[in-house]
Amino acid sequence: MRTQSLRGWMDVLQREGTLKTVSRDVSLEFELAALGKKADGKHTLLFNKVGKGNMPVITGIAGSRASFAKAVGVPVEELVAAFMQAQANPRDCVMVEKSAAPVKEEITLDVDLTKLPIPIHHEKDGGPYLTAAVLISKDPKTGARNLSIHRLHVLGPKKLGILILPRHLHHFFRAAEDEGKPLEIALAIGLDPILLLASQAIAPLGFDEYTIASALYDSPLELVKCETVDLEVPAQAEIVLEGYLVPKAREIEGPFGEYPKYYGPASLKPVVELTAMTTRKNPIFQTIVPATMEHMLLGAIPREGGMLQIIKGAVPNARAVHLTPGGTCRYHAVVSIDKQHEGEAKNAMFAAFASSQEVKRVVVVDKDVDIFDPIDVEWAIATRCQAGRDVFIVERALGNKLDPSSDDGISDKMGIDATVPLGADPFRFERIRIPRENQIRLEDYFD
Ligand code: MN
């Protein structure tokens, strides 16, 4: 059984020595984000003295594939497969009483966001932002539960502006708004890496992402009922904010420094009104510094799992997928296949594009290429690909609005086949190799 709480995960980080505590004064404006960015992938930072209050802030709870793999309890090479497995074999959650839920230790209906240590991350951000809150909602028609993470701009003591991309929450909100009704939501803050990962699953509408977390924990996730809305939230969370999306209301949200390393511009966006806050005693506030590896991998790992599953449906001998950091962990995919038939590379590309609207470039390589090594992937493109024959472009499909080169989200898609043609002379494409190179240790030869 894996830990279901941020505190349990902090114990693991403490033991491995990667959790660093910062007890000197740190400003919530830029300084905290700068430190989080410098520690990205190396240390988790726990700030004890930020802003005016005394609530600690944690950031960078998992900044590498190795760290997420440790949380899931598998070797790093098996991380994406483990996520895919969990998504294919979801498990039920369990409801617990309020008395058994740490997040109910303190309850207030008088929410005041100005009392929380919410950072301003980037130079031109419109204000403080919640970046690590998992939003829980239900389909107003079917009652199916959904998890998602959104950028949430603090607009007042009880008010947040929210960016809702055209995915599941968008669908629910439109249905509620069409009837002039509010859509109830809850925001859980202070979670472990598994629950954050599960919230990012690429799953069909109606799929309850909590059940992926239960499968990854290998034990039912503990949930507890909310106070003012008909929703269930993780019992082990540090902080839960309850409220609703206001029908027909729009206010200026943004700008906000996003994962593509550009600002998402300010514009009129939907608004959340908060109705209650429940917390642990002495809660820890969690933030994710945008565009860090922590942020990028939270998008990449679940997408790779979902994408590989869909590609395998089209090309059963697809082996692995990598959403590269240079491609923002969203836009550029590398797919490894064990090619058996000519044309499979193209079919793998079609499936990859269909699996996620954000993907705009797919490179398909043979199984001898290390898809996590950008030099090896570029070598495959350089030596196994001719643009006239092996590259195709589909213009003006749906992409991602946060890509500044897109036409408000309308984006071209490019497929690059960097696999060796099946009929080719094998020696022409034989990779050079020095026998026993891998067994020889240079140090053993030094005088
Ligand atoms: Mn969903």
> CA-CA distances (angstroms) from residue 175 to 139, 170, 178, 283?
8, 9, 5, 35
How far away, in angstroms, is 148 Cα from ligand 1 center? Answer: 7
Q: For residues 235 and 96, is the Cβ–Cβ distance under 8 A?
A: yes
pLDDT given for residue 394 in this prediction? 97
How far away, in angstroms, is 87 Cα from ligand 1 center? Answer: 12
Query: Over 70: is that where the pLDDT of 175 sits?
Result: yes
pLDDT given for residue 1 in this prediction? 55
pLDDT digits (tens, 9 = 90+) for 57-112: 999 999 999 999 999 999 999 999 999 999 999 999 999 999 999 999 999 999 99
Encode 150-159: b = buried (16+ Cβ within 10 Å), e = exposed: bbbbbbeebb
How far away, in angstroms, is 413 Cα from ligand 1 center? Answer: 24
Q: For residues 356 and 321, is the Cβ–Cβ distance under 8 A?
A: no
Cα angle at 157 between 154 and 158, to 5 degrees? Answer: 85
User: Which value, to the nearest 10 degrees, does the dihedral of the CA atoms of residues 386, 392, 398, 399 take?
Assistant: 0
Which residues have a Cβ under 8 Å from the Cβ of 347 and sit 6 or more positions away?
A: 314, 315
Q: Helix (H, G, I), strand (E, B), or coil: what is residue 49?
A: coil
Q: For residues 367 and 340, is the Cβ–Cβ distance under 8 A?
A: no
Q: For residues 32 and 26, is the Cβ–Cβ distance under 8 A?
A: yes
**Residues facing residue 233 across a β-bridge:** 224
pLDDT digits (tens, 9 = 90+) for 351-360: 999 998 999 9
Measured in degrees and rounded to the nearest 5, phi and psi for residue 9 equal: -70, -35
How far away, in angstroms, is 22 Cα from ligand 1 center? Answer: 36
For residue 100 the two structure tokens come to: 């058994």
pLDDT given for residue 53 in this prediction? 80
Residue in the structure block whose two tokens are 């988790």: 44
How far away, in angstroms, is 381 Cα from ligand 1 center? Answer: 35
d(CA 314, CA 441): 42
d(CA 333, CA 295): 17
How far away, in angstroms, is 220 Cα from ligand 1 center? Answer: 19
| Farthest CA pair distance, the chain | 81
pLDDT digits (tens, 9 = 90+) for 257-316: 999 999 999 999 999 999 999 999 999 999 999 999 999 999 999 999 889 989 999 999
Given pLDDT bands bounded at 50, 70 and 90, which one contains residue 2?
confident
Q: For residues 119 and 128, is the Cβ–Cβ distance under 8 A?
A: yes
How far away, in angstroms, is 167 Cα from ligand 1 center? Answer: 7
Comparing C-alpha atoms, which of 348, 353, 313, 316 is closest to residue 331? 353
Q: For residues 258 and 151, is the Cβ–Cβ distance under 8 A?
A: yes
How far away, in angstroms, is 82 Cα from ligand 1 center? Answer: 19
pLDDT given for residue 306 in this prediction? 86
For residue 332 the two structure tokens come to: 């550029």
d(CA 401, CA 408): 5
For residue 102 the two structure tokens come to: 């740490």
Residue predicted with more confidence, 394 or 2: 394
pLDDT digits (tens, 9 = 90+) for 153-168: 999 999 999 999 988 9
CB atoms within 10 A of CB 379: 16
